[in-house]
Amino acid sequence: MAMGYQQPKFQQFDGKSNPKQHVAHFIESCNNAGTYGDHLVKQFVRSLKGNAFDWYTNLEVGSIDGWEQLEQEFLNYFYSTRRTVSMVELTNSRQ
């Protein structure tokens, strides 16, 4: 790391919140600290906890070639696990 480099502080993702939003916050935090491109791969694990950390540690060694692939795998896994609200639930909800 370059002299004067400060590790970014990350919001922790546990698999329950919005994964797209997490990735956006993660990239912004890294970019603000001067971290770009495939260097994001090494930092990403620091933003995970719980089920998300387990997912990361269960990836096969050598299965990720770079940031774009890791981001896609992450979104494919966690975005598909988000609960979809039905129209019936929406129309029955009270304000």
State pLDDT tens for residues 17-70: 999 999 999 999 999 988 888 899 999 999 999 999 999 999 999 999 999 999
Interatomic CA distance for residues 22 and 29, integer angstroms: 10
**pLDDT (tens digit per residue) in 1-25:** 556 656 778 899 999 999 999 999 9
Q: 50 lies in a domain?
A: yes
Q: 94 lies in a domain?
A: no
Instruction: Decide: helix, strand or coil at residue 31.
Output: helix
Q: 65 lies in a domain?
A: yes
Q: 24 lies in a domain?
A: yes
Domain count within the chain? 1
Q: 87 lies in a domain?
A: no
